[in-house]
């Protein structure tokens, strides 16, 4: 059932899920499948699978400025236009209506619609391992994760089996194998680089990316058509999103009520029961306020927004924000860095090409600090992601000359090239944080979120190492014109925000327990990126989904036992 505007609905549900992105969609589906009458709240508009992907089948020449933005659009939306193009822009929140404050430069890239950023995500799916879950404990940064790999492993499988992940098992302890569909294929230059890396660095390998793009039909979706236009929404259902998968599955149970245009302004605390009674919602179209109540609340508004909602939920019990006994709420914000890497060209394989636009690249799994090394220049590690392709007009257009010869070069395959960069772990720093500025309000009267984040010495040293190792691996493989780079992208640039309501054993130093429950309010669960105790270096969405499924299972078990 859909509700919007003034239509009357029951104000009481078994469960409320705040946010319909990658983790909220999972929460809604799991709770609905377990028989819970569930209200799914989304601040943005509805986006129905296929029918609301207006640009999905457009060709480059169907757009006015091709895939470019107008100058006015760029000026109005300086953040959005860095990350979207004319084809995907309707799935990125505009900067005008959704301002935030930057203590230091930070790109907060949001997807305010049903499905959230699951429509535009990078689709990379990597498991964390005990190297990651034990990292904080080992080197003393942040607090220890309250879980280990064995706690989440079955849930990784559960999620992979549902969403469909293509990938190659590699039998690595620190990057566990999964339940994969057939892998996508490496091309000539990538195979060459892989062979060279294995030869020169016995401890490293290169593998095809593990992605939620379907190499065969799965759950009534796909297969992927290799168009590489994923971020416009896929009319083939070739990749996983809330819209294509979890939300339809939730609807199928008959237990889901979806309410778009609904900003949750706060969680309501009930002193008598010591639980959350429900949420307060602002209808973004009518500005009316509604209250909905439920036995269980799942917060999945995304790392920064979830922290914002909790900080704005003040009561006599929680004067500093909901569940914030530890004072850690909003702190320990992390994002992966992905600025440093190297690129180069290769003169071999001139007689080989490829057909199709594979929607992913390759991965060189983490190889630094796999065993404790007191001499290491930095803590933790990074993986390297990249792809190989032949130069096209985008690069050949920079050639000298004009006329028929220039045109011939422009329209023929150029040299092979590889671009690759390190996706690096970011330590949890207490002073990287989000807070609210109560003097500045958005158009719905909610205080603006202020973000204070920077990468520090450990990340910078890691970036230097990434530049060095990437360059070396390309040189060893015979690449030419090697350029090692550091784009120095500001925080938020990888769009992997995490950590603002971290999990931990101790209520004095963490917000959530090992089941993603708020320590002091057991009927509120947070399973988006804010729960992350450390960032590891793996793309995090798979972990959010697995933690969500696990927490939903736990929540329903606890409800049955009358513990919530």
Partner 1 sequence: MNRRTSLKYLLGAGLSGSAIVAVYKFTGWESPDIEYLAGKQPTIAELAEMIIPRTDTPGAKDARVDQFIIRMITEGSDKKTQRNFIKGLKQLEQYALNYYENEFINCSYKSRYQILSYYEKSSGYSSAILNKISNRLLGKPFFIKLKELTVEGYCTSEVGAMQGLAFDYVPGDYLACTPLQLNQKSWATK
Q: Contact positions toward partner 1, by CB under 8 A?
A: 59-61, 64-72, 184-188, 191, 225-228, 350-358, 389-390, 392-394, 396-397, 400-404, 406-408, 410-414, 467, 484
Whole-number minimum distance, CB 389 to partner 1, in Å? 7
Beta carbon of residue 402, minimum distance to partner 1 (angstroms, whole number) = 4
Strand order in the sheet with 447-452: 101-102, 447-452, 433-441
Beta-bridge mates of residue 278? 268, 293
> 81 vs 541, which CB is nearer to partner 1?
81
Tokens representing residue 466 in the block:
């990434």
Distance CA 108, CA 21 (A): 15
Classify residue 359 as exposed, middle or buried by CB count within 10 Å of its CB (0-12, 13-18, 19+): buried
Whether the CB-CB separation of 114 and 20 falls below 8 Å is answered with yes
Residue closer to partner 1 by CB (options 161, 191) is 191
From CA 160, how far away is CA 264, in angstroms rounded?
Answer: 30
Q: Closer CB to partner 1, residue 396 or residue 551?
A: 396
Q: Which is nearer to partner 1, 58 or 205 (CB)?
A: 58
Nearest distance from C-beta of residue 216 to partner 1, angstroms: 12
Dihedral of the alpha carbons of 284, 290, 293, 296, in degrees to the nearest 10: 10
Our CB check for partner 1 shows the closer of 21 and 183 to be 183
Give one word for 29, left, alpha or beta, with left for phi > 0 and alpha for psi -120 to 50. Answer: alpha
Nearest-angstrom CA–CA distance, 537 and 531: 16
Contact between 498 and 335 (Cβ < 8 Å): yes
Which is closer to partner 1, CB of 353 or CB of 487? 353
Q: State the minimum distance, in angstroms, from the CB of residue 62 to partner 1.
A: 9
Q: Which is nearer to partner 1, 176 or 413 (CB)?
A: 413
- For partner 1, the closer of residues 396 and 446 by Cβ is 396
CB of 530 to partner 1, least distance (A): 34
CB of 85 to partner 1, least distance (A): 12
Q: What are phi and psi of 531, to 5 degrees?
A: -80, -10
Q: Whose Cβ is closer to partner 1: residue 371's or residue 404's?
A: 404
Query: For 564, what's the count of Cα atoms within 13 Å in the CB-facing half-sphere?
Result: 24
Q: How many CA atoms lie within 13 A of 223 on its CB side?
A: 13
Instruction: Find the shortest distance in angstroms from Cβ 208 to partner 1.
Output: 9
Least distance to partner 1 from the beta carbon of 59, Å? 7
Question: Nearer to partner 1 by C-beta: 68 or 169?
Answer: 68
d(Cα 477, Cα 396) in Å, to the nearest integer? 23
19 or 233: whose CB is closer to partner 1? Answer: 233
In the complex, minimum distance from the CB of residue 388 to partner 1, in angstroms, rounded to a whole number: 10
Q: How far is CA 42 from each of CA 113, 160, 259, 335, 528, rounded to the nearest angstrom? A: 7, 25, 6, 24, 14
The two structure tokens encoding residue 546:
């697995």
State in Å, rounded, how far the first CA of the chain is from the last one: 26
DSSP, res 531: G
Task: Tell me the pairing of strands 12-18 and 38-41.
Answer: parallel
State in angstroms the smallest separation of the CB of 383 from partner 1: 21
User: Measured between alpha carbons, how far is 32 from 277 in angstroms, rounded to an integer?
Assistant: 20
Q: Which is nearer to partner 1, 1 or 377 (CB)?
A: 377
Q: Which pairs with CB-CB distance under 8 Å and at least 24 residues apart come from 143-147?
A: 143/502, 143/504, 143/505, 143/506, 143/509, 143/510, 143/533, 144/504, 144/505, 144/533, 145/503, 145/504, 145/533, 145/534, 146/503, 146/504, 146/505, 146/510, 146/513, 146/514, 146/533, 147/503, 147/514
Least distance CB 303 / partner 1 (angstroms): 30
| Residue whose CB is less far from partner 1, 266 or 389 | 389
- Please state whether beta strands 382-390 and 289-299 pair in parallel, antiparallel, or not at all (unpaired): unpaired
Are 297 and 276 in contact by the 8 Å Cβ rule? The answer is yes
Both structure tokens of 411 = 């329209």
Q: Shortest gap between Cβ of 65 and partner 1 (angstroms)?
A: 5
CB of 466 to partner 1, least distance (A): 13
Are 292 and 12 within 8 A, CB to CB?
A: yes
């Amino acid at each position: 059932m859909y509700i919007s505007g003034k239509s009357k609905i029951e104000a009481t549900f078994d469960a409320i899920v705040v946010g319909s992105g990658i983790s909220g969609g999972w929460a809604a589906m799991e709770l609905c499948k377990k028989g819970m009458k569930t209200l799914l709240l989304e601040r943005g508009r509805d986006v129905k699978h296929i029918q609301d992907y207006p640009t999905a089948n457009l060709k480059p020449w169907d757009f006015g400025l091709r895939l470019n933005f107008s100058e006015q659009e760029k000026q109005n939306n300086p953040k959005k236009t860095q990350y979207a193009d004319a084809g995907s822009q309707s799935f990125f929140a505009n900067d005008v209506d959704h301002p935030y404050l930057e203590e230091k430069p930070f790109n907060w890239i949001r997807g305010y619609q049903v499905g959230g950023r699951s429509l535009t995500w990078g689709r990379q799916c990597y498991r964390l391992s005990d190297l990651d879950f034990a990292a904080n404990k080992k080197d003393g940064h942040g607090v220890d994760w309250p879980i280990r790999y064995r706690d989440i492993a079955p849930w990784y499988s559960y999620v992979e089996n549902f969403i469909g992940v293509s990938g190659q098992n590699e039998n690595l302890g620190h990057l566990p194998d999964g339940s994969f569909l057939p892998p996508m294929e490496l091309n000539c230059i990538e195979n060459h680089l892989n062979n060279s890396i294995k030869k020169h660095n016995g401890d490293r390998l290169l593998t095809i990316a593990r992605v939620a793009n379907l190499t065969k039909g799965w759950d009534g979706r796909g297969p992927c058509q290799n168009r590489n236009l994923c971020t416009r929404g896929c009319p083939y259902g070739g990749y996983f999103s809330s819209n294509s998968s979890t939300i339809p599955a939730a609807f199928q149970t008959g237990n889901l009520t979806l309410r778009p245009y609904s900003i949750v302004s706060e969680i309501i605390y009930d002193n008598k029961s010591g639980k959350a009674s429900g949420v307060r919602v602002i209808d973004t179209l009518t500005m009316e306020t509604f209250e909905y109540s439920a036995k269980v609340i799942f917060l999945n508004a995304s790392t920064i927004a979830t922290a914002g909602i909790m900080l704005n939920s003040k009561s006599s019990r929680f004067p500093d924000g909901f569940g914030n006994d530890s004072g850690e709420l909003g702190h320990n914000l992390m994002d992966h860095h992905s600025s440093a890497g190297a690129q180069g060209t290769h003169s071999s394989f001139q007689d080989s090409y490829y057909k199709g636009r594979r929607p992913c690249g390759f991965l060189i799994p983490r190889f630094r600090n796999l065993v404790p090394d007191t001499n290491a220049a930095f803590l933790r590690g990074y993986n390297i992601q990249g792809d190989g392709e032949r130069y096209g007009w985008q690069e050949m257009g920079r050639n000298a000359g004009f006329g028929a010869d220039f045109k011939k070069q422009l329209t023929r395959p150029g040299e092979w090239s590889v671009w690759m960069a390190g996706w690096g772990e970011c330590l949890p720093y207490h002073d990287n944080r989000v807070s609210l500025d109560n003097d500045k309000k958005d158009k719905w009267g909610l205080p603006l979120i202020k973000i204070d984040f920077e990468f520090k010495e450990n990340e910078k040293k890691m970036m230097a190492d990434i530049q060095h190792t990437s360059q070396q691996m390309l040189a060893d493989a015979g690449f030419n014109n090697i350029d090692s780079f550091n784009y120095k992208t500001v925080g938020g640039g990888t769009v992997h925000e995490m950590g603002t309501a971290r999990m931990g054993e101790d209520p004095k130093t963490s917000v959530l327990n090992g089941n993603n429950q708020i320590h002091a309010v057991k009927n509120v669960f947070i399973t988006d990126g804010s729960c992350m105790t450390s960032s590891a270096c793996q793309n995090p969405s798979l972990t959010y989904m697995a933690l969500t499924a696990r927490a939903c299972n736990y929540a329903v078990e606890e409800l049955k036992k009358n513990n919530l």
